[in-house]
A and B are shown apart, each in its own frame.
Chain A
């Protein structure tokens, strides 16, 4: 966190009193994410069944692959019938689709969005770019391997994968969730320092809190 950009400063309140404001400490929560313990095994299984059948995708297309998500809402593919829905706010979503290439500039936003989602949360890597950079393998500003920066639960390969592949990917993700193996949020909390080090290595202008609550 750089304090140079947001230094402490004196502020005069409406009542005439002056006080010091340190933006990064006063406006943001500094706590680290915690590993969440699961409930009783039977209850957890029931919850996982509900979670798998209610995938709410955060409406944030990070790359060209986002165009393949739009047809899923049309009569031809109609993903709603599989319990898939799109939410306009990360707070209510539990699935983040990194759709295609992820530029370093977008990675910063993707991290903020991912951290604002409430666990258990899942990440789906869409397209070859999320696995090895794909056709952008030698680009100067594109992320090569997504799971260095965010915990990925499943990948959908192809360039571009068709909407059918996406539907198949959702079904695979559902199986992973129902088996109780989609622990991305806990992995992120466990290996928090490792993820942050990777993220800060490529994001040069890191001007946000370490974890965006």
Chain B
């Protein structure tokens, strides 16, 4: 990997753009779910108000070092995913710090934040946090199995673990996309995506009706602000990753926003149609069709 210091400001700009898209979508998706429920719904810029409000909270309490580090780890996972992923194919400015084995790092960082959060929320001593994290980890782990199988299938198909090379191999029209050349892996990946996007049926982890708020129960003010920053960056990073792996990547920001939006709508539509699973139900679900599809995807390559 050739390191060029000039890439730092460009990567940060890319990160900021991804954050803004994430903030917009966080206002847009509740609007859609509200319209489905025949409500008017929140203002589309409401997440920005909440964001500033969280950072304007004057007092805060702590439960120890790990309580501080929980949100930091979470945000590190989200930012790390964006910084090591090529956002725009063929662009020097927005290729970030992509390198030969970035897919492995990406899969690692996807889990990293959840683990950090588990330690932080565990130190808060709140039983709801501990239950929420246990449920979250169980669900993410089981959703990760089909996802990794799908990634292995794609990596074996293109003989590389580099996201940039996988995107490059898909250029030249829709017929070259992994979606067409490897539909089984794409189907597995898209089913696995449902498990980590915090939409129904897999949002029991954060559901206020089940366990009040879940892992971030004790987090407030600036801590919550950092967590919401990550909630804008992390899902967008996953969406862009899926776009790169399965849907041919993007050659400019307009394509990225369009494809990203369409992929984001997949868990949202599933979410407004299907009711919530309990954790044991979602674990069983992931170990049935997505897992079998994943094994099939690896076997077929």
Contact = CB atoms under 8 A, between A and B. Distances in A.
Interface stretch (A5-13, A75-83, A147-155): A75-83
Nearest to A84: B42
Interface in A72-123: 74-75, 78, 80-81, 83, 85-89, 91-92, 94, 118-120
B213 A50 contact: no
Interface residues of A, number: 29
A86 B128 CA distance: 17
Interface in A35-57: 36, 46-47, 50-51, 53-54
B288 interface: no
A75 to B, nearest CB: 4
Contacts of A50: 49, 52-53, 56
B36 to A, nearest CB: 11
Contact of A81 (B41, B218, B221): B41
Interface string B127-139: 0100000000000
A85 B228 CA distance: 15
Interface string B47-77: 0011011001111110000000000000000
A75 B49 contact: no
A94 B59 CA distance: 12
Contacts, number: 87
Contact of B220 (A33, A53, A92, A185): A92
B50 A54 contact: yes
A91 B213 CA distance: 11
Contacts of B270: none
B38 A91 contact: no
Nearest to B208: A88
Contacts of A29: 61
Contacts of A85: 42, 50
Interface in A197-212: none
B56 A47 contact: yes
Nearest to A74: B39
Interface string B1-40: 0000000000000000000000000000010001001111
A189 B42 CA distance: 34
A54 B59 contact: no
The B interface, classified by DSSP as helix, strand, loop or mixed, is loop
A78 B213 contact: no
A104 to B, nearest CB: 25
Contacts of B218: 89, 91
A158 B55 CA distance: 35
A78 B40 contact: yes
Contacts of B46: 53-54, 83
B59 A36 contact: yes
Interface residues of B, number: 31
B212 A89 contact: yes
B180 to A, nearest CB: 41
For A74, A75, A81, A89, the residue with the greatest tally of chain B CB atoms inside 10 Å of its CB is: A89
A36 B220 CA distance: 17
B213 A88 contact: yes
A213 B59 CA distance: 10
Contact of B34 (A80, A88, A92, A185): A80
B188 interface: no
Given A50-B53, A118-B57, A92 B39 contact: no
B59 A119 contact: yes
B229 interface: no
Given A53-B49, A88-B208, A89-B212, A78 B57 contact: no
A108 B60 CA distance: 22
B278 interface: no
Given A59-B208, A119-B59, A91 B217 contact: yes
Interface of A: 29, 33, 36, 46-47, 50-51, 53-54, 59, 74-75, 78, 80-81, 83, 85-89, 91-92, 94, 118-120, 185, 213
Interface of B: 30, 34, 37-43, 46, 49-50, 52-53, 56-61, 128, 208, 212-213, 216-221, 224
Given A80-B40, A83-B42, 17 more contacts: A33-B59, A36-B58, A47-B56, A53-B46, A54-B46, A78-B41, A80-B42, A81-B43, A89-B212, A89-B213, A89-B218, A91-B217, A91-B219, A91-B220, A118-B59, A118-B220, A119-B58
23 contacts: A29-B61, A33-B59, A36-B58, A47-B52, A50-B49, A51-B53, A53-B46, A54-B50, A59-B212, A74-B39, A80-B42, A81-B42, A81-B43, A83-B49, A88-B208, A88-B213, A89-B212, A89-B217, A89-B218, A92-B216, A118-B57, A118-B61, A120-B57
